[in-house]
Amino acid sequence: MLSSSTALLALLDADQLSVLCVMQPLPETIPQMGTLPPLQVNCPNFRLHLTSLPSPMFSRNDFSIWSILRKCIGMELSKITMPVIFNEPLSFLQRLTEYMEHTYLIHKASSFSDPVERMQCVAAFAVSAVASQWERTGKPFNPLLGETYELVRHNEAYTWTNPTCCVHNIIVGKLWIEQYGNVEIINHKTGDKCVLNFKPCGLFGKELHKVEGYIQDKSKKKLCALYGKWTECLYSVDPATFDAYKKNDKKNTEEKKNSKQTSSSEESDEMPVPDSESVFIIPGSVLLWRIAPRPPNSAQMYNFTSFAMVLNEVDKEMESVIPKTDCRLRPDIRAMENGEIGEGNASGRFIPGLC
């Protein structure tokens, strides 16, 4: 993936030939859309890539496509095997990767608030996607079943795991979902790590939905603290301030526990009532994210968010252009959305595995 300040200048590698730096920082503002600053020879932060293939292409002057096709008259076109001479040394998946060569235009578009400027960048990206096809008369190799292609570039790459999702009361009682466990987010370039703890609800539900953790550098120095609820919001704050708050909160919690007498130590599986207080905002905190409120009729609409509510929306114009494999055209889903449960079950039985 390319960062917002990086441009990709070349894609092809070789082993023996001259190299140049294919990636260079872009200025904050590009004076002319579609133009790149002069190539910087010294790019210590990026890997150098080669500028030529190990071998030049074969001449196609002595070969004619018609000489191949006339021998295949009456055959199914998809069954005809074309000579490799008409190919180029890339898979179709790699050709698709070339569409993302100028992703800095998309990043640039996202930085604008003016919709016209955004449209200009998107239009430029759409045009740039086909620029590499000029004089590319070679056919890429057909991808094999299950084939993948990984484009490796030495920018920031992040990986993370998801918390454990626990569904309570599957057989008896009211269903409710709890997310708990540690989530580790790793920046493989810098070594920075964020460890978030999705807290289990506990006996009295005090920790229900709560999330907290730290961002650390590769030496495990705390750079930032994060806290909030995965159902509501997430804040960041200075780690020292957060630790002081946690110490004081723990003291208050222990005092409350000592003043309460519980009749049973067994933990109930019923859905706990969330803490009446929302997330306490620690002074000096910065809001990173807050969820949008759900529509008033959400409880009657499968508890959908506003975004989820429109995902199955399709009009006549859209229906005429989307592929028949689009899930918005599935009869079983559509029947259920229309309240025709019996019809939805019947539709699903015709296609195994849909229901």
**Res. 284: pLDDT tops 90:** yes
Taking 70 as the threshold, does the pLDDT of residue 349 lie above it?
no
Q: Name the E strands within the chain.
A: 6-8, 19-21, 23-25, 48-50, 87-91, 139-141, 158-160, 164-168, 176-187, 193-198, 210-216, 222-229, 233-237, 286-290
For the chain, percent of residues with pLDDT exceeding 90:
4
**Reported confidence tier of residue 315, pLDDT bands at 50, 70, 90:** confident
Say whether 240 sits in a helix, a strand or coil. Answer: helix
Lowest mean pLDDT among 167-171, 193-197, 315-319: 167-171
Break the chain into its structural domains and give their ranges: 6-141, 158-259+268-290, 298-350
Q: pTM for the complete prediction?
A: 0.57
> What pLDDT, in 10s, does the model give residues 133-157?
656 767 777 777 777 766 666 666 7
Tokens matching residue 307:
């975004």
Mean of per-residue pLDDT scores for the chain = 71
Beta bridge pairs of residue 164:
180
Find the mean pLDDT for residues 49-59. 64
CA dihedral 308, 313, 319, 323 (to 10 degrees): 10
Please give the pLDDT value at position 183: 87
Dihedrals φ, ψ of 215, to 5°? Answer: -100, 125
- Residue 274 predicted with pLDDT over 90: no
pLDDT of 35 over the 50 cut: no
Are the beta carbons of 336 and 344 closer than 8 angstroms? yes
